[in-house]
Amino acid sequence: MFKRKKITVIGAGATGATTAHVMALKEMGDIVLVDVAEGIPEGKALDIWEAGPIERFSLKVSGSNSYEATRDSDVIVVTAGMPRKPGMSRDDLLKVNADIVYQVVEKAAKLSPEALLVVLSNPADVMAYVAQKASGFPYHRVIGQAGVLDSARFRTFLADALNVSPKDVTAFVMGGHGDDMVPLVRYSSVAGIPIEKLLPADTIEKIVQRTRTGGGEVLNLMKISAFYAPASSLAEMVQAMLKDERRVIPVISYLDGEYGEHDIFVGVPAIVGGNGIEKVLEVEFTDSERAAFAKSVASVRKPLSMLNY
């Protein structure tokens, strides 16, 4: 008997619900939306499911306050946590969200011991580390989302500056998901043409800085964290895993010697497929790029050292 893939999304806030909606539109599998708020996951799931006849998807979307509904999931997406508010850094959320992420992941992992785990909760690099400790899963099955989102912002701003389609812009961002992230200009291109050949250096630097503060820009405008682009980023990662696409995308991965770093989750380019992280790809750095990456990794280690995991 054919069995559709099952995806659990923990957290039915704006990001979680939008992620569930995007994945339903892409027909990735049956979706379970889980949250502690009574009626919210059930209501949002029902609303999404009722769009099926219009959007032509046949899968089931359900909601629950009980983790039993998540049993035997193929992928668990964690969006739960306190949202960032204006004036707050991602690190301000550290201890509150670490406790939340540990608890929800521990519950879900026991019911789906073979699942792949994708973490969005902020600060994302640290929360990926917490999620791995809570689940006990092999490192390659725990992945943080940040690089896809940060790179999408970088690509958007580059495409706008060049007045071209973002489909033709290739770029990626490494390091921690924060103000010290490292947009790699030298590896960025438009239809194979290096952006350094197409844009002046001062324009590129402004785009790099805007990318680093992209989440804050949205936050300051809406007074809540971004959720549309993060949801699309999560969906792209989940699709790469469920369809074993072996996509080369920037994700938060555990490093065990790659780039000279150990025992840390941080943003790097990786092959993402049916087993999660199939391989971390190591790109060559210039001295300045290496220094920037080291600084970004250090900014992840600092809050990580405040936790006892």
pTM equals: 0.94
What integer is the mean pLDDT of 170-174? 92
Same-domain status, 138 and 159:
no
DSSP per-residue codes, 60-92: -EEEES-GGGGTT-SEEEE--SPPP-TT--GGG
Query: pLDDT of 213-242, one tens digit each?
Result: 999 999 999 998 899 999 999 999 999 999
Same-domain status, 174 and 290:
yes
Phi, psi of 80 (to 5 degrees): -65, 150
Confidence at residue 89, expressed as pLDDT on a 0 to 100 scale: 64
Position 107 in a domain: yes
Confidence at residue 302, expressed as pLDDT on a 0 to 100 scale: 87
Between 177 and 140, where is the model more confident? 140
Say whether pLDDT at 37 is over 80.
yes
Residue finishing a domain among 117, 144, 171: 144
What integer is the mean pLDDT of 49-74? 97
Tokens standing for residue 175: 């390091």
Residue finishing a domain among 118, 144, 170: 144
> Residue 234 carries which side chain, given as an amino acid letter?
L
What integer is the mean pLDDT of 170-181? 88
Same-domain status, 152 and 126:
no
* Residue 185: CATH number of its domain: 3.90.110.10
Q: What percent of the chain has pLDDT over 90?
A: 86
Same-domain status, 91 and 113:
yes
Say whether pLDDT at 90 is over 60.
no
Residue finishing a domain among 144, 179, 199: 144
User: With contact defined as beta carbons under 8 Å apart, do 101 and 119 qualify?
Assistant: yes
Q: Any idea which residues carry the catalytic annotation?
A: 177
Same-domain status, 19 and 100:
yes
Confidence at residue 88, expressed as pLDDT on a 0 to 100 scale: 65
What integer is the mean pLDDT of 12-38? 97
Query: pLDDT of 95-144, one tens digit each?
Result: 889 999 999 999 999 999 999 999 999 889 999 999 999 999 999 999 99
Number of domains in the chain: 2
* Residue 107: CATH number of its domain: 3.40.50.720
**Residue-number span of the structural domain to which 297 is assigned:** 147-304
Q: How far apart are CA 86 and CA 225, in angstroms?
A: 9
